[in-house]
Chain A
């Protein structure tokens, strides 16, 4: 009898091992088919290739690429005392030319012959020459100063419109304002944070009093861009954290991982996106009343708060937004939005997710159809991704003069160049 038992146990283990092995082989086979080596470890749609054009730069945040093929990339901190690196791209290689700016930060943009760059309190601009080279790297003009930096959501991401205005994100220095609004009478920090401020692009030393609060109720925005098609500001909000931890009776661990949505908003002056009173549930497709203010996961929000124009899974952390206007990629990408998702942390104990570049199709300046993952594989193995120990984390996006898409990674300091070449 014992022998038979042992025999069966032995058989079972053989079957199990066999099954596991064949599964592994199948998996490996799939991997080798996705041209990983040629694509810098990324998986991309048919016909696209990726190359690592630069590596180990430091914490590479946002970037711009000039018509002459120079890259200005902003580092979160300084490296050798410099916060902006200048590289020149030649094919699949970018060579470091110089560095300047004694401040690190996230925001960087080029408009009307100036390079704009921000740290967590200020925005500067540098005059460019006819070749888009910074004329005097040691003497920038300070455009905005005195913005709040209370560590949480401190980076001041920027963009500019076509009418001489500069837009600056001033993130809420809190998850959900609860420590500043104990009696739920209204979140007081919204007077100077939790929104997008508009300043003049050419007036020195502006501060709160000189700008206007263009839109409020935005928890934190890192990815933002001016849409040239309908002449409007688009932003990606980082949604709130900890629905389950703070309200275990109202939200399961799984709901808390998926909710709330990371939202894309199309903003007009005076819009209120509802933070901290409101969050968007992408599964119910509704703006919901936040649990801190009487919500229960079912009660809808007041309709005075704007709805997002597109919504993405919880905690993906959108750090880069770019409207693609190039001619290199297939027609469907034209005027659509690329979004760089930095990847989650507040999905634990569920597997972490994000760490990818997503494409959101647009038509006539508005999202049209379902988003899709465009570039994936930044995180490394499934285990590195699930545990949150991602190798690379997408942050900034830029379009090259030839229509190539550039993506920064602020973990290893990698810059990827993604091109299309249908063979």
Chain B
């Protein structure tokens, strides 16, 4: 009985060690700027976007548009930045379905947060499109302030 328990403890300890090992490997300093932006973007996505667009970017039928493989998410960068900055208040048709919920403005996010979260969206949920730089957000923000 005692041997069994010791064995169990030992085994779970090994498993834990392995997990910790893997974690540290993932966060090793050699990672690229893109991966860092993705990681920061995921944090923004989780706290700001997920409640409506869902963890898998699938959205909500009739209400909140999906972000996976849509012309919007993969398309014009300035248009996407504007949606985040100013919100979105019109019916949008995607793949034959309309979505009508109002999206509030998120101009309280800074340029880097917006670049990060859009990069995350464009490279998650099966999406594979170009990343964003904070400077691109600054430009659109400045232009829309005039």
Report which of A4, A11, A348 forms a contact with B51, defined as CB distance below 8 A. Answer: A348
The distance in angstroms between the C-alpha atoms of A348 and B10, with both chains bound, is: 37
The distance in angstroms between the C-alpha atoms of A420 and B72, with both chains bound, is: 49
Measured between beta carbons, the chain A residues less than 8 angstroms from B56 are 387
Interface check B104, CB cutoff 8 A: yes
Interface check B101, CB cutoff 8 A: yes
The distance in angstroms between the C-alpha atoms of A411 and B46, with both chains bound, is: 27
Interface check B134, CB cutoff 8 A: no
Report which of B10, B15, B46, B64 forms a contact with A345, defined as CB distance below 8 A. Answer: B64
Measured between beta carbons, the chain B residues less than 8 angstroms from A11 are 4, 7-8, 11
Chain B proximity of A371: nearest CB distance (Å): 25
**Does the CB pair B60–A388 fall under 8 Å?**
yes
Chain B proximity of A152: nearest CB distance (Å): 6
**Does the CB pair B51–A12 fall under 8 Å?**
no
Interface membership of chain A positions 316-331, coded 1 if the CB is closer than 8 angstroms to chain B and 0 otherwise:
0000000000000000
Measured between beta carbons, the chain B residues less than 8 angstroms from A387 are 54-56, 58
**Does the CB pair B51–A242 fall under 8 Å?**
yes
Report which of A179, A248, A348, A411 forms a contact with B50, defined as CB distance below 8 A. Answer: A348
Number of A-B residue pairs at CB separation under 8 A: 67
Interface membership of chain A positions 283-303, coded 1 if the CB is closer than 8 angstroms to chain B and 0 otherwise:
000000000000000000000
The distance in angstroms between the C-alpha atoms of A348 and B51, with both chains bound, is: 5
**Does the CB pair A12–B47 fall under 8 Å?**
no
**Does the CB pair A245–B51 fall under 8 Å?**
yes
Interface check A33, CB cutoff 8 A: no
**Does the CB pair B100–A154 fall under 8 Å?**
yes
Range for the number of chain A residues in contact with chain B: 20 to 34
Report which of B7, B55, B63, B104 forms a contact with A8, defined as CB distance below 8 A. Answer: B7
Would A349 and B58 be within 8 Å (CB), given that A5-B14, A12-B8, A151-B91 are in contact? no
**Does the CB pair B101–A389 fall under 8 Å?**
no
The 6 closest A-B pairs by CB, nearest first: A8-B7, A12-B11, A151-B100, A345-B60, A8-B11, A9-B11
Most buried by B among A4, A8, A175, A388: A8
Interface membership of chain B positions 73-108, coded 1 if the CB is closer than 8 angstroms to chain A and 0 otherwise:
000000000000000001100000000111010000
B contact residues, total (Cβ < 8 Å): 29
Measured between beta carbons, the chain B residues less than 8 angstroms from A349 are 46, 50-51, 55
The distance in angstroms between the C-alpha atoms of A121 and B48, with both chains bound, is: 33
The distance in angstroms between the C-alpha atoms of A173 and B11, with both chains bound, is: 57
**Does the CB pair B48–A245 fall under 8 Å?**
yes
Measured between beta carbons, the chain B residues less than 8 angstroms from A9 are 11, 14-15
**Does the CB pair A12–B12 fall under 8 Å?**
yes
Chain B proximity of A310: nearest CB distance (Å): 25
The distance in angstroms between the C-alpha atoms of A154 and B91, with both chains bound, is: 12
Identify the closest chain B residue to A13 (Cβ). B11
Chain B proximity of A59: nearest CB distance (Å): 8
Interface check A174, CB cutoff 8 A: yes
Identify the closest chain A residue to B99 (Cβ). A151
Identify the closest chain A residue to B49 (Cβ). A245
Measured between beta carbons, the chain B residues less than 8 angstroms from A175 are 102
**Does the CB pair A248–B100 fall under 8 Å?**
no
The distance in angstroms between the C-alpha atoms of A346 and B63, with both chains bound, is: 11
Interface check B61, CB cutoff 8 A: yes
Query: What are 28 A-B interface contacts by the 8 Å CB criterion?
Result: A5-B10, A5-B11, A5-B14, A8-B7, A8-B8, A9-B14, A9-B15, A11-B4, A11-B7, A11-B11, A12-B7, A76-B62, A151-B91, A154-B100, A173-B102, A174-B102, A175-B102, A179-B102, A241-B51, A242-B51, A345-B54, A345-B63, A346-B51, A387-B55, A387-B58, A388-B58, A388-B60, A389-B58
Measured between beta carbons, the chain B residues less than 8 angstroms from A345 are 52, 54, 60, 63-64
Chain B proximity of A218: nearest CB distance (Å): 19
The distance in angstroms between the C-alpha atoms of A387 and B7, with both chains bound, is: 38
